[in-house]
Amino acid sequence: MSEFRDFREISRKFQDKLKKIKVFLADVDGILTDGRIFWAGPEVGFNRAFHALDGYGMKMLQRAGLKVGIISGGDSKSVKVRSDYLKLDYVFIGNEDKREALLTVMKDGFKPEEVCFMGDEFFDLPVLKKAGFSATVPKASPEIREAVDYVTQREGGDACVREVIDILRFAQGIVPDILEFEE
């Protein structure tokens, strides 16, 4: 129960910023995963482990009308399969210059203050600084932790994305549709 109260308290602290968010974007390695990459052989390539809570949180945001996506400097089959499975609105992979991804989102009519971005590495910094709300994980470099609005309690790959999504949904009053039950 205390975690629930913490998220509500944090969402109130950042409510002005969070209420504007219409797009949720996350880096992959170190955010949606713990940063470890496994070689699974020539047919599969590099593989990663994703947390189900993050995926479900992303789907909640989509059902609430927000756009959701990933921005990854890497390009691998496991990331493509995961993003296809989640039916993400934005999938930017294979380019470490993440500013281009943000510019594409802006061309779709969104303002930087309407974007929430989670990243943990130096090439995430330009988007983290420009986004309306930014977050990172405890293992990120000091410069990254100092530049963001929020540092998660959870590590990358351990539902840190869901932590930020829960804070965002409390601020916006998003209730998971499964909680609504009519006879």
**What is the DSSP secondary-structure string of 20-67?**
T--EEEE-IIIIIS-S--EE--TTT-EE----HHHHHHHHHHHHTT-E
Q: Is the Cα torsion angle 84, 89, 92, 98 positive or negative in sign?
A: negative
Residue 171 Rama label (left phi>0; alpha psi -120 to 50; beta): alpha
Give the per-residue pLDDT at 38.
82
3-class state of residue 10 by DSSP: helix
Per-residue pLDDT band for 179 (boundaries 50, 70, 90) equals: low
Q: What is the mean pLDDT of the chain?
A: 91
Q: What is the pLDDT of residues 2-17, one digit of tens each?
A: 555 688 889 999 999 9
Per-residue pLDDT band for 182 (boundaries 50, 70, 90) equals: low
- Which pTM value belongs to this model? 0.92
Chain Cα centroid distance, residue 92: 13
Give the per-residue pLDDT at 5.
61
- Segments making up each domain of the chain, as ranges: 2-173
Give the per-residue pLDDT at 74.
86
Give the per-residue pLDDT at 180.
57
Whether 1 shows a pLDDT value over 50: the answer reads no
Give the per-residue pLDDT at 68.
98
Per-residue pLDDT band for 109 (boundaries 50, 70, 90) equals: very high
Q: What is the pLDDT of residues 143-157, one digit of tens each?
A: 999 999 999 999 999
CATH architecture type of domain 2-173: 3-Layer(aba) Sandwich (3.40)
